[in-house]
Structure 1
Amino acid sequence: MTSHAVTPARCNNAATAAAVPPGSRWMKTLLIVAFLILIVWNLGAGLYYMLVDKGQSKRTVNALTRRIALSVALIIIVLVSIKLGWIEPHGVGA
């Protein structure tokens, strides 16, 4: 018979996950999804302005600049959240 030892890191993660209020998990997910929706919205707005304005205004550039700024902000938020332990990265299927 083999015994499966639980590593201390697994124990700490399980204890941390149990200590996190259930509502905060949804808030984190909601924040990330909201950022992704805004990014896609600005990408679509840039496409629309490019087709409608035909280069006569800077609305396309502004929409795409906002999209890039939102993407960079989301990446920074995720990295800071991982560093502070607010979210825990995991592999696919892990």
Structure 2
Amino acid sequence: MKTLLVAGFLALIVYQLAAALFYMLTDRGESKRAVNALTRRIGLSIALIGLVALGIATGVIEPHAVGA
């Protein structure tokens, strides 16, 4: 379940990044849709980092060494 939650957040982050690129190419600076999409992407990234930190602090997620 935790893997699906993280994967879902990552998918939403990539979607918001792609939406911002699309809005930048089509709007040509006439609207703030690209800025709003990038703002949502930053918010989702911060929320994901917070959830991972909370999961580590509560013991739901167990970090491991790289290559171990």
**Shorter-chain TM band:** over 0.9
Which deviations, in whole Å up to 9, do the C-alpha atoms of 1:48-89 show, x marking residues without a partner?
A: 000000000110001000000000000000001100001100
Q: Residue 61 of structure 1 corresponds to which residue in structure 2?
A: 35
- Give aligned pairs, total: 68
Query: Under a length normalisation based on structure 2, what TM-score does the superposition of the two structures give?
Result: 0.97
Give secondary structure in 1 for the equivalent of 2:14.
helix
The structure with the larger Rg is 1
% of aligned pairs identical?
A: 65
Task: Give runs of ≥4 in structure 1 deviating > 4 Å.
Answer: none
Cα offset for 1:91?
A: 1.6
CA distance in 1, matches of 2:61, 2:20: 32
1:30 aligns with 2:8: no
**Which structure exhibits the higher relative contact order, with contacts defined as CA atoms closer than 8 Å and separated by 6 or more residues?**
2
Query: Under a length normalisation based on structure 1, what TM-score does the superposition of the two structures give?
Result: 0.71
CA distance in 1, matches of 2:16, 2:66: 29
